[in-house]
Amino acid sequence: MTVTEFSKREDGLAHNGAATVIYVCITCRQPDDPEGWPRPGAAFAEATLRAAADSGIDVRTLRCLANCKRGCSAAVRRADAWTYVFGHLDPATDAAALVEGAQLIARSADGLMPWRGRPEPLKRGLIARVPPIDFQEQSE
């Protein structure tokens, strides 16, 4: 499925029943890139869709993650787990790393993406991690 076909879906979801989702910004571009299409973010979304095939990870596209100076950008989330936002992702090389990171979260018992074993693009490209909606800090 291409991003064009994917974007035409009402929900923007590659349905496979997975609880872990990768959100890929399709409008990402570098500041000196032309305004027109195709944008690097759209190419990254297509590469991520291909990399996620048969992986158990859902991929959704969206129009902006507000991380424009650090595109290409994506977020990985799982219910009851931390959400991770990544930037400076290369559409030509980093889609498989993003899927691998999503699989780490999918298997995580504590809802965190472990640093050890995390693909290098996700180590250097980490922008933020956001706690689950019901997160409460444990007192020491």
Q: How many domains does the chain have?
A: 1
Position 13, amino acid: L
Closest alpha carbon to 13 in 23, 54, 78: 23
Any idea what the CATH number is for the domain that residue 21 is in? 3.40.30.10
Residue numbers of the domain that contains 9: 3-130
Measure the CA–CA gap between 32 and 129, rounded to whole angstroms.
28
Do the beta carbons of residue 61 and residue 110 sit within 8 Å?
A: no
pLDDT at site 28: 77
**Model pLDDT for residues 27-74, shown as the tens digit of each residue:** 877 767 777 667 788 999 999 999 999 999 999 999 988 888 888 899
Tokens 């910004």 belong to 25
**Model pLDDT for residues 79-124, shown as the tens digit of each residue:** 889 999 999 999 899 999 999 999 999 999 888 999 999 999 999 9
Lookup: tokens for 40: 């690097």
Asked if residue 137 is part of any domain, the answer here is: no
Asked if residue 140 is part of any domain, the answer here is: no
Asked if residue 135 is part of any domain, the answer here is: no
